[in-house]
Structure 1
Amino acid sequence: MSQHFNSEQAPEPVGLYPHARKVGNLLFLSGVGPRERGSSKIPGVQLSEDGEILSYDIEEQCHSVFKNVRLILEASGSSWDQLVDVTVFLTNMKADFPIYNKIYAEYFKDNQPCRTTVEISSLPTPIAIELKCIATI
C-alpha cells in the first residue's frame, strides 16, 4: 500500500508525478529543484528572452532547493531530521561543488544522511541543482 503527497507550498511538479510517495515507513521524494510555487521564477537565475541561462547564483539555488525539500517533507508527515539518503544533481560540478558542499554542511550538521552528488549536462528546467531524497516517516 502506498500513499501520494503534494505540498501546497512547494513548487508544482513539472510533470505527472507527486512530490512524494510513502511506501511502508519510507518516503520517496520526486526530484526537487529551486523553483518558486505558482511561477516559473527560479531564485538566482537570470534568463535571456529565449529562455537561455545568462547567469545563476548556486548559493541562492541551494537555499531555495533545501527549503522546498523541507516543505515537501513536512507536508508528507516527515521532517528534515528523518532524511536518510540524498542524491544531488549539479550541472557544473567544478564551479558549483565547493559552494554547494559548504551550504550542504550548514543544513546537515545535525542530521547526516547518506549522500551522492553527480554532475549532469542539464535538468528539465533552467536550474543548476536538483535533489532526490528518501526519508523515514
Structure 2
Amino acid sequence: MTRVAAQTVPEPPRPGMFSNARVHGDQFFLSGMHAGGPDGPVGGADAYAQAKEAFRRVRALTEACGAAVDDILVLRIYLTDIADRALVGRARSEVFAGDFPCSTLVEVSALVEPGLKVEIEAHGVVGSHNRT
C-alpha cells in the first residue's frame, strides 16, 4: 500500500497516527475528512460550509490518488445532528453527478474536534468511472 498526501489537505496532527489516504492496487481509501482548521472549523458552525470543505478535501485526496470523484464508490458520512442531512446532501450534489456513490449517513454524538458537524470517509477504484 502507498500512502498519499495532497498539498491542500492538512496532514494528521501526529505523524504515525493514521494516513489521510492509501492506495492498494487500483483501490483507494480515504480517512474521514472534516473541516477542522487551526482556528476552528472552516465554515464556522454552518453545516453546509463544513460539508463543502470536507468534500473539497475528499476531492483533493481522490485526485492525489490518481482518481476522479466519479471513481468513488462508497461514502460514509457522519453528522452530529441528523437534521443537517439536507445541507450535506446539497453539498454532495455539487460534487457528484449521474450515478452517485453508495452511501451511509449516520448521526454520532461527537467528532474529533469541538464544533465539527460532518465527517466524510470514501473508498473507490481508480478508473472505475470509465469501465462498463
Q: For 1:89, what is the secondary structure of its paired residue?
A: strand
- Residue among 118, 131, 136 paired with 2:106: 118
* Runs of 4+, deviation exceeding 6 Å: none
* Deviation (angstroms), 1:71: 0.8
- In structure 1, the partner of 2:41 is 42
- In structure 2, the partner of 1:49 is none
- In structure 2, the partner of 1:25 is 26
CA distance in 1 between counterparts of 2:7 and 2:40 reads 17
More deviation, 127-136/11-20: 11-20
- Residue among 54, 61, 64 paired with 1:72: 61
- 2:113 maps to 1:136: no
Give the counterpart letter for 2:63 in structure 1.
Answer: E
Between the two proteins, the alignment pairs up a number of residues equal to 123
* Deviation (angstroms), 1:21: 1.0
* Structure 1: runs of 5+ lacking an equivalent: 46-55
RMSD: 1.5
Q: For 1:31, what is the secondary structure of its paired residue?
A: strand
CA distance in 2 between counterparts of 1:128 and 1:119 reads 10
Give the TM-score taking structure 1 as reference length.
0.81
- In structure 1, the partner of 2:92 is 104
- In structure 2, the partner of 1:48 is none
Contact 1:83–1:111, Cα closer than 8 Å, also in 2: no
Identity %: 28
* Deviation (angstroms), 1:100: 1.4
* Deviation (angstroms), 1:136: 1.0
